[in-house]
Amino acid sequence: MKRILFAASECVPFIKTGGLADVVGSLPKNFNKEEFDVRVVLPKYACMKQQWKEKLEYVTNFYMGYNWKERYVGIFKLELDGITFYFIDNEEYFNGDKPYTSDGLWDIERFGYFSKAVLSILPVIDFRPDVIHCHDWQTGLVPVYLDHFRFAGEYYQGIKTVMTIHNLKFQGVWGTKDVRNIVGLPEYYFAPDKLEAYHDANLLKGGIVYADRVTTVSNTYAEEIKMPFYGEKLDGLMNARSNCLSGIVNGIDYEEYNPETDPFLPYNYSVETFRKIKAKNKVALQEELGLEKDPKKMMIGIVSRLTDQKGFDLVEYVMDEMCQDEVQFVILGTGDERYENAFRHFAWKYPNKVSANIYYSEAMSHKIYGSCDAFLMPSLFEPCGLSQLMSLRFGTLPIVRETGGLKDTVEPYNEYEKTGTGFSFSNYNAHEMMNTVRYAEKIYYDKKRDWNKLVERAMTKDFSWKTSAKQYEELYKYI
């Protein structure tokens, strides 16, 4: 039996700000239980929902030296869906109303404490993992502390680490002197070939240097981050570690995202019945949002954080032109004020064609996936992306830019070979995006049979967590 411990700063259903939480919450349930005992360790945040806090069972507590003091480390645990979750309790560090703060140094201190506590609790909870799987910069110090702990005793010898980068943009960077003073690691670790990068301490870099294997969330992104444009100043390190670097695409929960049983859809449908039924959802959504009711009109959905990374400058640039076509746009999400206001403006200007929903709602997102004909995702960069996987599952054809996980998961339509599951364009260019949208419109209106075949192929693709879990199982066995 191989023992694996996931260490992360967020995890559904307990705490979520992004896709990382979905990965940490869903992946452990999909390992082969005969071969793998997978557990998860998280901070015990005060902002966790009360329903979960009430269920936590107190295990024990002890004190650990950190930042020149003896710090309290409480351990709680909970079993859910056959997985054991451990929660590290320290009210001083985890008492805010959000999991992250706007104070960079304070977050580094909090998650440095968390990284050290992850290793310190192991003898106490009587679980010695073969592999500790660390996620993002918040756990970047785990492999570094592990290297340091190995000098201290035999218990930590032979434990391996995997570092997964969910988004290289976030690295946990601050002045070397301050960070060294807080985390209490010897000066030896703060050299340019270890934790130091451009005269600052970089927690993610430490994790990448000391982990036995580094993974990221798609094959294309694993290649892209070796280049300066995507490498966020760590492209040199990524090339140096390329023999230990691999990409494994995230999955989605195929039970939660299932058009046959989805409780948020007025009409459920399957790969056999979508031709007759899916348009009824579209009409219901048109009615709910005050758009012109027409089951035949092509509807394009967007569910996203409204930020530069997601390519909304391209959409903003050609939206007026695209609204001259026989299409409707339904947008859901929040983000930069510039894009929130731009979409509000287009909804005011084209009330029959554009619906801007500047908020977030799980129910509305499912309705968009289950009602629209196409889904637009023109990202500047996208480590993995989950929205395109959801839209494929619902037979809503993705129109994406060929980057990161989008390139790995959406196969562009080829009208001669009759293959593909969506549409894509390669250059980050507004008119190239618009031409691809218009090409999709042409297929939708003029080649309905081809369009329906695309939908069929999209809905039969398997991007469930089972596939990702198998690849991680291989990786753990290998190391």
Token output for 78: 């909970």
Cα 249 vs. chain centroid, distance in angstroms? 10
Are 78 and 56 in contact, with CB atoms under 8 Å apart? yes
Q: What are phi and psi of 339, to 5 degrees?
A: -80, -35
pLDDT at 18: 82
Using an 8 Å Cβ cutoff, are 423 and 300 in contact? no
What pLDDT, on a 0 to 100 scale, did the predictor assign at position 19? 84
272 SS3 class: coil
d(CA 120, CA 146): 10
CB 100 within 8 A of CB 45: no
CA distances from 290 to 352, 355, 371, 410 (A): 7, 8, 15, 31
pLDDT at 151: 82
* Sign of torsion over alpha carbons 364, 359, 332, 461: negative
pLDDT in tens, the chain (479 residues): 999 999 999 999 999 988 899 899 999 999 999 999 999 999 999 999 999 999 999 999 999 999 999 999 999 999 999 999 999 999 999 999 999 999 999 999 999 999 999 999 999 999 999 999 999 999 999 999 999 998 878 999 999 999 999 999 999 999 999 999 999 999 999 999 999 999 999 999 999 999 999 999 999 999 999 999 999 999 999 999 999 999 999 999 898 999 999 999 999 999 999 999 999 999 999 999 999 999 999 999 999 999 999 999 999 999 999 999 999 999 999 999 999 999 999 999 999 999 999 999 999 999 999 999 999 999 999 999 999 999 999 999 999 999 999 999 999 999 999 999 999 999 999 999 999 999 999 999 999 999 999 999 999 999 999 999 999 999 999 99
CA 192 to chain centre: 29
The dihedral built from the CA positions of residue 155, 473, 75 and 203, taken in this order, carries a sign that is positive
**Whole-model pTM above 0.85?**
yes
Contacts of 31 (CB under 8 A, 6+ apart): 4, 38, 469, 472, 473
Strands 173-175 and 200-202, by their bridges, are antiparallel
DSSP structural state of residue 330? E
Domains and CATH numbers, the chain: 2-251+466-478 (3.40.50.2000), 274-462 (3.40.50.2000)
